[in-house]
């Protein structure tokens, strides 16, 4: 009778990332290298570590989740589908026609990918 864990849906991930905010990032509408580990050469020229960093190096959001923006991207359990705002969380499986979704950006992705509303499809 152990615990059951699973990846979040992309809608669950965004809800946890935003932590009750309505801003682009959990910390506001601007992301800096003090907030997250991402490729800051795009869009702004600031030095970044250039590799993953230990968990918790950057501040957590209001619900205590850290590294939701940048560092390593998080896989979601559902496949990409277009859901209108206010729609239901579809949790549809990935198929050759419906690719996997990952969220949060990573240390080597430009600053637009760690945005809370940004999702990325994995092809292949």
pLDDT in tens, the chain (124 residues): 788 888 888 888 888 988 998 888 888 888 888 888 888 765 545 566 778 889 888 889 999 998 888 888 888 887 776 665 556 666 666 666 667 777 888 888 776 666 655 555 554 4
Residue 85 structure tokens: 């705002």
74: domain CATH number is 3.90.1580.10
Q: 16 exposed, middle or buried (CB, 10 Å; 0-12, 13-18, 19+)?
A: middle
Structurally, the chain folds into a number of domains equal to 1
The range of the structural domain enclosing residue 68 comes to 1-124
Q: What is the pTM of this model?
A: 0.73
Q: Give me the residues paired with residue 120 across strands.
A: 102
Q: Count other Cβ atoms within 10 Å, centred on residue 6.
A: 7
Residue 115 structure tokens: 């945005």
Q: 72 exposed, middle or buried (CB, 10 Å; 0-12, 13-18, 19+)?
A: middle
């Amino acid at each position: 009778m152990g615990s059951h864990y699973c990846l979040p849906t992309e809608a669950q991930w965004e809800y946890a990332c935003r932590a009750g905010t309505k801003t682009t990032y959990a910390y506001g509408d601007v992301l800096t290298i003090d907030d997250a580990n991402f490729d800051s050469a795009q869009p702004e020229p600031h030095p970044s570590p250039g590799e993953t960093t230990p968990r918790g190096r950057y501040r957590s959001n209001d619900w205590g989740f850290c590294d939701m923006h940048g560092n390593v991207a998080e896989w979601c359990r559902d496949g990409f589908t277009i859901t209108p705002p206010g729609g239901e969380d579809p949790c549809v499986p990935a198929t050759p026609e419906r690719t996997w979704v990952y969220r949060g950006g990573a240390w080597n992705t430009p600053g637009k990918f760690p945005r809370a509303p940004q999702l990325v499809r994995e092809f292949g």
